[in-house]
Amino acid sequence: MTEALLAVAGLTVAYADVRAVHALDLDVRSGEVVALIGANGAGKSSLLKGLMGLGGNVQGKILLAGSDLSGLPPQRRARLGVGYVPEGRRVFAGMTTEENLLVASRDGGAARAACTEEMYALFPQLGVRRDAPAWQLSGGEQQMLAVARALMARPRLLLVDEPTLGLAPAAARSVIRVLRGIAATGAAVLLAEQNARAALAAADRAVLMRLGRIAATGTAEALAGDERLLRSLMGG
Amino acid sequence: MTARHPVRAWLGRDVNALVLAGAIGLLAWPFLTGDAYSLRLLTVAGVYGLAAIGYQFVFGHAGALSLAQGAFFGLGAYAAGIMSVRTGAGFEVTFPAAMAAAAVLAALVALPVLRLRSHYFALATLAVGQVALVIAVNWESVTGGANGIPNVPVPSLFGASVGRGWPMLLLVWSLVAAGAVVARRLTGGLTGAALLLMREQPMAAEAAGIDIRRVRFAAFLLSALYGGAAGALQVHTVRVVSPEVLEFPVMVMLLAIAVVGGRTSISGAILGAVLLIHLPEWFRPLERYYLVAYGVALLAMIVAAPWGLMGSLSRARQRWLPEPEPPLPAAGRVPAGRPPARLAIAGLTRHFGGVRAVDGIDLVVEPGESVGIVGANGSGKTTLLNMIAGVETPDSGRIRWGKSDIAGLPPYRIARAGIGRSFQALKLIDGLTVLDNVAAAAWRETGGPDRDAARASAMALLQALDLAPMAWRRCGALPPGLRRRVEIARALIGGPALLLLDEPAAGLTAAERDSVAGTLAALNAGGTTVVVVEHDLAFLEGFVARIVCLDQGRIIADGAPADVRSDPGVISAWLGQPPDEGHKHD
Amino acid sequence: MEFLQLALNGVALGAAYALVALGFVLILNATGAVNFAQGDLVAAGGFVAVALAGILPAPGYLLLPLVAILMAALGLAVSAVAYWPLRDRPPVAVFISTIALGIIIQNGLNGLFGAEPRAAPPLFAGGQLEFFGLVIARQSLSIMATAALLIGAVQLLLTRTQLGRRLRATAQDREVAAALGIPVGAMIALTFALAAALAGAAGMLLANRYFITPTHGTDFIVKAYIAVVIGGWGRIGGALAGAMLVALFETVVAAWADYAVATGLLYVAMLTILVFRPRGLFGEAEGRRA
């Protein structure tokens, strides 16, 4: 049994009005894709934000390959190998595609440029648009850019928040396909997704969240065939 | 009245009592020193205090960083000074004239300036002052140019001359007292809570039917009146009119007084004025650097004590000597519901960039219905709700409410038409009590209830929602479920015929959801139309009879919950499109 | 011809203003807050130059980098004192804290140097050049050249270096920048240092031809503010263009009326623009997060 890359124990995330996540335990291993599914408000996004250190009152243990992330600011977590693809893409709109990629790299000049070319190989649509300002890209292209940007620092753990939101089905499929490929290189992917079916098709394991807690967990295949899933995602 | 420990009671009374004592001590000081200089300094402190009280209307209560207060002050000084020198008119004429001049200026610039966003507003108001300065320096025939006009006489009040020293001091400070009383009346009570709501949660204030722009205009005008009045007093105190009175340092002084004293505290304005006018005297030994001490004081205050001295004092008092809760006010009647009406939406569309957020929606909600609107993120349900509530304007289509067209109306008009709303991210004032959070929403600029009446109505609603015991608790201390109910209570104080709720179940435990569902069911049973945007079908099934499902800006299902739940289109939209086969092993 | 002469003078002035406006808009983008002390930093730069010239027998162009470095340090102090403690508060708090800091700087300068106007040494040489009937002060040429150089350098920094990209990323979306590992606190401090260095350079350049007094600071900040309002809130290019427009307007009008009237008319012009275009002449910056 491989050691978990990410080990979360007793995680609680609270904001002023919302108790988003309650005493949650979760493990993610290298090379696997874990899907977080659940209705909106279930706490998926808050969980990812809590793991990244982006606000909220967070209690509990977050261990990344043994290092405790609790209390560290997001920059430090990124440097320890956590990548983050935020909900809504949030590319740097005033910068070009290429600049978005370059700024995310922590390598020196030559390695940085090489990494950028790797990204263009992985996402050919971006290569075509490398000099376009990011606000001109389509939703799907921006999503690709957001993922590629997070990959530039070669994260060990990639947190992806609602990547298919607002995307046309074809673009959504592309993104999900890419995420599978990333896991194949050895990184772990923790994916929060509203589109449960697409997420389950891409994932190895799935965690169903409801009201800030884990309601079910298992292999993606098992959950995809589960009727309870249907019910609980729509409430009740 | 419950018995209170006497010392606690005395100290716990309005901090103003303490300040009153301080003020008396301050006035006694000149008796001890007796010299003309101290008297004059204290007089000038009073003048600035009056101007600062006026500044608090716009800077403190309305929360807008205006840099025009110096302009009003200076204009008042010039108006009074010029009139007094050229026409020999008495103070009873020059004083109102100064106020009128400042008010006219405020009215002129208000229209273009008040609608500017905050970063432009500050600059625009600053510019007004600077233009006034340039005019003062260059219009020599009227203003005396750079040298100004010397020998402004002492004020004469109905023929009686108000001499230097004690008489002038008393004139100024009695006007300060009068100004303070008026300001207290205007901003105290329910108005104070409403102003707080407008400052901290403007969207909630609009949703409660408050016209924020009118209030801002009134605040601006009042600040000008006080500024002009203070300027008139200034010119009679220093007995000369010069462009100095329009220069930026005057504005900085007023800003500093407001920040140091406390932005909304009248006693703070007075205290701040006395402190800051005397500060240079205390720091005089530092010679040329005493103004540096000024800057340091201002910086220290804004960083460490942003509520000013009085605010910090008030907070400390609340922490260390909290007042026991007063008895609950008597509950009045639940506010009368507005007459029921029909909501008819036709052909509504809204685009953002290339995205069709709402793409042709037709929807009718009959009076007394309870409807849930569901859909995934990005389905358009929030945009739809925002368009009904007036927060967003449709690109095309109509929204009829009863007999009126409400599409595109500002939120406060829609609220007054009988549509109330709650927000997904609760917009309550954490530092205010539950009771006043609800009561504040009943406020109107004219013709609204007074504090007791509003509190009585609020109490009735709190009782109906099982929140009565919490009436005096601060909202920030309540758990999310209760805060949600407080927000619903607030939305109800206007007696809306239709209540729009935006994800009321977000972040609540199962038990809290049941409780809110029960509340809404009871509300609906009482005749209020309820329209709820939500994700959680189970929650909705607790009290709605009809569910409308949106996907990509259109309605894809509309019917009884059980039917919608098993509609394949709905299920597919909810759970997502299945990807192509074979993806997993790419 | 007369007009050309004025235009030439205006351009020189505008070049200096552009440095001030650039610093102002860099801080604005990075923090969302108005740095009201920016103008007083210009005055400080002028006086630092005056003081250094009194101590070191070096020519102006050697003093300039020294001034810039000292001013950069001052900029770090400004960010530590007036911005950092207030970073989570609404921007109006920083507006006020920088007003306070401006008072401190202005009166500190007054205490140290007195209120009379002082002159800094010229960058290269004083005196004038004549060509084609136009007279231009050598210092004006120095100002234009230096400003062009500095602005070009900043442009290169921002577009061609990793540091510059990080500064821009921090300005556009601080949270996401942090999630990418960018040390956003350091980026903001650096922005303040850069803005102060630019202001200081402008101060030294201006202090030769136009003399510097401690109270000039207020003037500079208002002009920078106007430049940014005209040019489009948050746009760097717009701020530079706005600065040039302000200087040209000021120079031309001051030749016909006097300086004070020119300033007054400048304000009136700005107010008029805001009446018709409440978002500034060219609108706000494209693609920024609201």
DSSP-derived secondary structure for B478-500: S-HHHHHHHHHHHHHTT--SEEE
Contact C92 B65 (CB under 8 A): yes
Query: What are the strands, taking DSSP E only, across chain C?
Result: 128-131, 134-137
Is A107 an interface residue toward C (CB < 8 Å)? no
Question: What's the mean pLDDT in B504-508?
Answer: 81
Is B112 an interface residue toward A (CB < 8 Å)? no
Instruction: Answer for the pair C79, C188: CB distance below 8 angstroms, yes or no.
Output: yes
Is B146 an interface residue toward C (CB < 8 Å)? no
How many interface pairs between A and B have CB atoms less than 8 angstroms apart?
A: 97
Instruction: Answer for the pair B442, B457: CB distance below 8 angstroms, yes or no.
Output: yes
Contact C176 A153 (CB under 8 A): no
- 3-state SS, residue B530: strand
Terminal-to-terminal C-alpha distance of chain A = 35
Amino acid B32: pLDDT: 65
Contact A94 C286 (CB under 8 A): yes
The predicted complex's ipTM stands at: 0.91
Confidence band for C284, pLDDT divided at 50, 70 and 90: low
* B neighbour chains, 3+ CB pairs within 8 Å: A, C
Confidence band for B292, pLDDT divided at 50, 70 and 90: confident
Amino acid C285: pLDDT: 56
Amino acid B7: pLDDT: 46
B549 vs B297, more confident? B549
Give the CA dihedral B551, B556, B557, B563, nearest 10 degrees.
-90
Confidence band for B579, pLDDT divided at 50, 70 and 90: low
Give the model confidence (pLDDT) of B226-246 as tens digits: 999 999 999 999 989 999 999
Q: What percent of chain B has pLDDT over 90?
A: 49
Give the model confidence (pLDDT) of C193-225 as tens digits: 999 999 999 999 999 888 889 988 888 998 998
Amino acid C287: pLDDT: 41
All residues of chain C having their beta carbon less than 8 Å from the beta carbon of residue B291 are: 103, 107, 110
Confidence band for A148, pLDDT divided at 50, 70 and 90: very high
Q: Nearest to residue B41, comparing CAs of B214, B273, B256?
A: B273
CA angle at A197 for the pair A191 and A200, rounded to the nearest 5°: 50
Amino acid C161: pLDDT: 94
B446 vs B30, more confident? B446
Amino acid B538: pLDDT: 83
Is the pLDDT at A17 greater than 70, yes or no?
no
Q: Which CATH superfamily is domain A6-233 in?
A: P-loop containing nucleotide triphosphate hydrolases (3.40.50.300)
Question: CA–CA separation, C65 vs B393, rounded Å?
Answer: 54
Q: Nearest to residue B67, comparing CAs of B100, B109, B104?
A: B109
Count of CB atoms within 10 A of residue B157's CB? Answer: 14
Amino acid at A100: N
Give the model confidence (pLDDT) of B374-402 as tens digits: 988 778 898 999 999 999 999 999 999 99
Q: Is C139 exposed, middle or buried (0-12, 13-18, 19+ CB in 10 A)?
A: buried
Amino acid B17: pLDDT: 61
Amino acid A231: pLDDT: 65
Amino acid at B569: G
Give the model confidence (pLDDT) of B1-16 as tens digits: 334 455 444 444 445 5
* C neighbour chains, 3+ CB pairs within 8 Å: A, B
> What backbone phi and psi angles, to 5 degrees, belong to B433?
-70, 160
B177 vs A223, more confident? B177
Give the model confidence (pLDDT) of B33-63 as tens digits: 668 888 888 999 999 999 999 999 999 999 9
Question: CA–CA separation, B579 vs A177, rounded Å?
Answer: 10
How far does B436 lie from chain A, in Å, by closest CA?
19
How many interface pairs between A and C have CB atoms less than 8 angstroms apart?
A: 72
Contact B292 C104 (CB under 8 A): yes
Is the pLDDT at A216 greater than 80, yes or no?
yes
> What does the block give as tokens for B136?
């003062």
Under CATH, to which class is B343-577 assigned?
Answer: alpha beta
Is the pLDDT at B166 greater than 70, yes or no?
yes
Is the pTM for the entire model greater than 0.90? Answer: no
Instruction: Answer for the pair B409, B419: CB distance below 8 angstroms, yes or no.
Output: no
Give the model confidence (pLDDT) of B448-481 as tens digits: 888 999 999 999 999 988 899 989 999 988 888 8
Amino acid A230: pLDDT: 66
Amino acid at A180: R
Confidence band for B433, pLDDT divided at 50, 70 and 90: very high
- Best mutation target among B427, B514, B570, B575 (most A Cβ atoms within 10 Å) is B575
Mean pLDDT check: name the lowest of A115-119, B85-89, B484-488: B85-89
> What does the block give as tokens for B291?
């103004």
Give the model confidence (pLDDT) of C3-42 as tens digits: 888 888 899 999 999 999 999 999 999 988 899 999 999 9
Mean pLDDT check: name the lowest of A12-21, B90-99, B293-302: A12-21
Amino acid B33: pLDDT: 67
Outline where C57-137 has alpha helix (H): 60-78, 91-113
- Report domain extents, chain B: 37-246, 343-577
Give the model confidence (pLDDT) of C112-131 as tens digits: 998 899 988 888 887 888 87
List the single residue in C179, C182, C289 with the smallest CB-CB distance to A54.
Answer: C179
Nearest CA in chain A to B487: A17
Give the model confidence (pLDDT) of C151-183 as tens digits: 999 999 999 999 999 999 999 999 999 999 999
> What does the block give as tokens for C173?
């979306």
How far does A165 lie from chain B, in Å, by closest CA?
7
Q: Residue B153, Cα to own-chain centre: how many angstroms? A: 41
Q: Provide the β-strand partners of residue B490.
A: none
Instruction: Answer for the pair C32, C91: CB distance below 8 angstroms, yes or no.
Output: yes
